[in-house]
Amino acid sequence: MKPEKAGLVIEGLKEAGINFAVGVPDAQFIEVYRMLSNDSDIHYVGAANEGEAAGITMGAWFGGKRPTLVIATSGLLVASYHLARINLLHEVPILILIPYRGDLGDPRWMGMYQKTTEPALKAMDIPYRVVNRSSDIVPTIKECNASARAWLRSAAVLFTGEALW
C-alpha cells in the first residue's frame, strides 16, 4: 500500500473515532503500521501473532478504548478462533482491517486467500465490505466502525484493487 493510501486509512480511523490499534505487521500494510506507530492520536500495539492481537484488541475495548485490529489476509485464518469467540460470544465491536490478497488484480497469485477470506468472515458471522477504490477508504472505515459499535459485533474492511495496489 502506497503512503498516500495508508494516509487515507489513518484518516478513516481517526474520523471513525479509533484511538487504539493492534496488529502484526505485514508487507501489504507496512506503511499503515509505520504511520500508526508514529501517530499520537492512535495508540499502536504490535503483537506476536494474530490470535494474541485479537485478544489485546478485545481487552482494549473492555478497557474503554475504541480499537481496530490490523492484520494480514493470512492472519485472519490464524485469528479465526479468537475472532469467532469475540464476535459470537462476547459481542465486542472490533473493526478489522485486512488487505484482500488473492482477489482479481493482485500482482501475485494468492488464490488460497481469495477462496478462504470471505467464507471465513461469513462463518464467523462478521459482516464486511470490500473496498476497491481509494476514494472509498475513509467513508467505508467510518461506516463499518459505526455499524460494529451499533450492532456490538465485529466488522471487517477488505482492501483490494486500486485501494490496495
Q: What is the pLDDT of residue 112?
A: 74
| CB-neighbour burial class of residue 129 (10 A; exposed 0-12, middle 13-18, buried 19+) | middle
Between CA 156 and CA 69 the distance in angstroms is 9
Q: What is the pLDDT of residue 113?
A: 80
Q: What is the pLDDT of residue 52?
A: 96
DSSP for 10-78 reads: HHHHHHTT--EEEE---STTHHHHHHHHT-SSSEEEE-SSHHHHHHHHHHHHHTT--EEEE--HHHHHH
Q: What is the pTM of this model?
A: 0.95
Ordered by start, the domain boundaries in the chain are 3-164
What would the mean pLDDT of 97-121 be, rounded to a whole number?
A: 83
What the block records as the C-alpha cell of 123 is 462463518
- 159: helix, strand or coil: strand
In this prediction, residue 124 has a pLDDT band, given cuts at 50, 70 and 90, of very high
What would the mean pLDDT of 135-143 be, rounded to a whole number?
A: 98
Q: What is the pLDDT of residue 104?
A: 74
What the block records as the C-alpha cell of 66 is 475504541
- Which strands form 128-131's sheet, in the order they lie side by side? 43-46, 20-23, 67-70, 95-99, 155-159, 128-131
Instruction: Single out the residue of 98, 146, 143, 106 nearest to residue 124, CA to CA.
Output: 98
CB atoms within 10 A of CB 163: 23
3-164 classified as CATH 3.30.70.3270: no
Place of cell 492520536: 41
Q: What is the pLDDT of residue 165?
A: 84
pLDDT digits (tens, 9 = 90+) for 20-78: 999 998 889 999 999 999 999 999 999 999 999 999 999 999 999 999 999 999 999 99
What would the mean pLDDT of 124-150 be, rounded to a whole number?
A: 97
pLDDT digits (tens, 9 = 90+) for 79-106: 999 999 887 888 899 999 999 988 777 7
Beta bridge partners of 82: none
